């Protein structure tokens, strides 16, 4: 039995197609050491690296990312480090804060 036969150019294998967003038949268009390196989707003809049938990680919602960025920009003193210090002082008990100051 030849269970571990080498993958050859033109072989049809299953892989995840990012355009079809599902496992589709792919033709091997490039191999590396007997393993599929690049494949082409038989449905949309998209060439891509062989993904071992894995779906890509979910993308960040661009609208949420924009909203988050908007909130960041509205923060006073954002990017200057002052806002961070103030927030830290608020959550730190006064006694600990004094101790910390003496230690420094």
Joined together, the tokens standing for residue 27 give 């033709």
Q: Whole-number minimum distance, CB 25 to Zn ion, in Å?
A: 9
Nearest CA to 30 out of 4, 52, 48 is that of: 48
Q: What six digits make up the tokens of 3? A: 């269970």
Smaller CB distance to Zn ion: residue 44 or 83?
Answer: 44
CB of 59 to Zn ion, least distance (A): 17
Helix (H, G, I), strand (E, B) or coil at 30: strand
The C-alpha atoms of residue 14 and residue 28 are separated, in whole angstroms, by: 10
Binding site for Zn ion (CB under 5 A): 17, 19-20, 41, 43-44, 46
Least distance between Zn ion and beta carbon 30 (Å): 17
Name residue 31's beta-bridge partners.
36
Looking at beta carbons only, is 22 or 35 nearer to Zn ion? 22
The residue among 53 and 88 lying less far from Zn ion, judged by its C-beta, is 53
């Amino acid at each position: 039995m030849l269970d571990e036969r080498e993958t050859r150019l033109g072989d049809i294998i299953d892989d995840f197609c990012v355009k079809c967003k599902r496992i589709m038949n792919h033709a091997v268009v490039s191999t590396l050491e007997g393993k599929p390196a690049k494949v082409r989707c038989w449905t949309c003809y998209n060439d891509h690296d062989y993904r071992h049938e894995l779906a890509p990680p979910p993308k960040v919602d661009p609208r949420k990312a924009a909203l988050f960025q908007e909130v960041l920009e509205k923060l006073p003193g954002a990017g200057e480090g002052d806002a961070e210090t103030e927030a830290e002082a608020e959550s730190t008990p006064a006694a600990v804060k004094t101790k910390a100051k003496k230690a420094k």
